[in-house]
Amino acid sequence: MNVVNKNAARLGSEGGESVNQHRKPYPATAVDASLSESALIGALLQEHDRVFPICQEAGITAASFTVERCARAWNTMAALRDGRRIVDLVTVSENYGGDSFGAMQELEPMLRDCATTAHAAYYVQEIRNAERRRGLHAAARMAVEALERGDQIGGIVADLRAAGEAVEFGEDGQINVESIADFLGTPPPPLDSIVEELFGVGEKGEIIAPSKARKSFFAIDLAVHIAAGRDWLGFKIPRPRRVLLFNLEISRDWMKRRFFRRLERSEITD
């Protein structure tokens, strides 16, 4: 279970526009991908020779970007590389188009969005994942249009599978297509709930709230109740489970104090 501080992602700051003002409308996770696009350009501007091979290995291209200014910066850097020229903030600003000062102002927020170039691989992964999702959405739209036209099911299935391979979907690059009869032919396995009505074995969850909303206390309380097999906030916990909780924010002694406080209030002693 991940404890997430939503304030950790800065969407914009004084003196620069938020990257979200320049993104195209894509589904849910597009905000994170847009931030990653901006941060990756910032990383490339700072340490191009180190970061570009990471992009190259992952297959990042101009088509991977949905934010117009990020794609423009990428293309500018590509032209500089082709001309065997140095790629940095100064040379990109000079070749970005328009006057250099205006280009510098447009590129500077991307530098701020890059907390550290050490996260470049993460930015790349987020961008590629978003690109794959866009490919799958396009494949789904294509399938719906084909069904409306009355196309043969076999052809639609083949096109969907080809689309899955094109976007490297799943472990084997395949979209699983099956008839509803086959899908409902066997019942699902019994549900192994960790917390009934919330999540079971193999599922993921996140605790998301603003800073100082006591997410860590909430996570500790949940972990304690799961370990003890005690019902939690009206939700049934069928049996005790082993729980692994990572503490990456406070000292060992302070974490111990929090645990003792939650155990005392919950009257859990075993």
What is the model's pLDDT at position 6? 33
> What is the rounded distance in angstroms from the CA atom of residue 121 to the CA atom of residue 125?
6
- Do 248 and 208 form a contact (C-beta atoms < 8 A)? no
What is the model's pLDDT at position 88? 93
pLDDT in tens, 161-195: 776 666 555 444 456 667 788 889 999 888 899 99
> What is the rounded distance in angstroms from the CA atom of residue 66 to the CA atom of residue 68?
6
Decide if domain 16-127 falls under CATH 3.90.550.10.
no
The values of phi and psi at residue 33, to 5°, are -65, -40
pLDDT in tens, 130-166: 888 888 788 778 888 888 888 887 777 777 777 666 6
The two three-digit tokens of residue 20, written as one number: 């979200």
- Do 93 and 41 form a contact (C-beta atoms < 8 A)? no
pLDDT in tens, 236-246: 999 999 999 88
Instruction: Tell me the domain boundaries of the chain.
Output: 16-127, 130-183, 193-266
- Do 266 and 226 form a contact (C-beta atoms < 8 A)? no
pLDDT in tens, 60-99: 999 999 999 999 999 999 999 999 999 999 999 999 988 8
Q: Is the pLDDT of residue 13 over 60?
A: no
- Whole-model pTM? 0.55
pLDDT > 90 in the chain, percent: 48
What is the model's pLDDT at position 175? 61
* H/E segment holding residue 194: strand 193-195
